[in-house]
Chains A and B, each alone.
Chain A
Amino acid sequence: GENVEQHPSTLSVQEGDSAVIKCTYSDSASNYFPWYKQELGKGPQLIIDIRSNVGEKKDQRIAVTLNKTAKHFSLHITETQPEDSAVYFCAASLGETSGSRLTFGEGTQLTVNP
């Protein structure tokens, strides 16, 4: 089955700096790659996603890039703010062939210091 690895496991940045989280996946047939933000005591919140026919997607301070050849994708957060502090998860999906299940990375604890 699909396997997703995520790095780093913890990331500490100063307010205003950029943060980058990287993920690799094992199955080249994966075609959907969402990112989730999870705050303490809450469920994962979808923040951005990308499909395999697109190389990059932006939404305000957040961007995701996908390199299908290398089987990796990354989350970029610019101008970080203290409220960006949370655990971020990447995931991959093989689509309908796998029942649309999401396979998650291990998570990255992002801390933005004021």
Chain B
Amino acid sequence: DSGVTQTPKHLITATGQRVTLRCSPRSGDLSVYWYQQSLDQGLQFLIHYYNGEERAKGNILERFSAQQFPDLHSELNLSSLELGDSALYFCASSVAGRADTQYFGPGTRLTVL
């Protein structure tokens, strides 16, 4: 158990809908990262937040957005969902002072029908 929690574990929804994925980092970690894992693209970096501020963006679609709240939990919002958005979404958090040592949560499996 990495100490990173994600909810929900599974999410099934329809095309065009909007969903919110939630992540709580390990106690004391200030950074939260979101990654998408799909069969054809592998593990891809989406976005990084540090202490409430956006630090870096990867190939994140404009339909996707994220934020980190004062209590350091983060939410990833996916809107106008398409079939191709079906994937595993992982959150990771990093040790304070060692930003790139990242510990992953169990993931949310999103299925868009």
Contacts and interface: CB of A to CB of B under 8 A. Distances in A.
A and B are interacting partners: yes
Contacts of B62: none
Interface of B: 2, 4, 31, 33, 35, 42-45, 48, 55-58, 90, 94, 99-107
Interface of A: 32, 34, 36, 42-46, 49, 89, 91, 93, 95-96, 98-107
B104 A100 contact: no
Contacts of B55: 99-100
A93 B47 CA distance: 14
At the interface, is chain B mostly helix, strand, loop or mixed? strand
B106 A43 contact: yes
Given A99-B55, A101-B33, A101-B58, A46 B100 contact: no
Nearest to B4: A43
Nearest to A42: B106
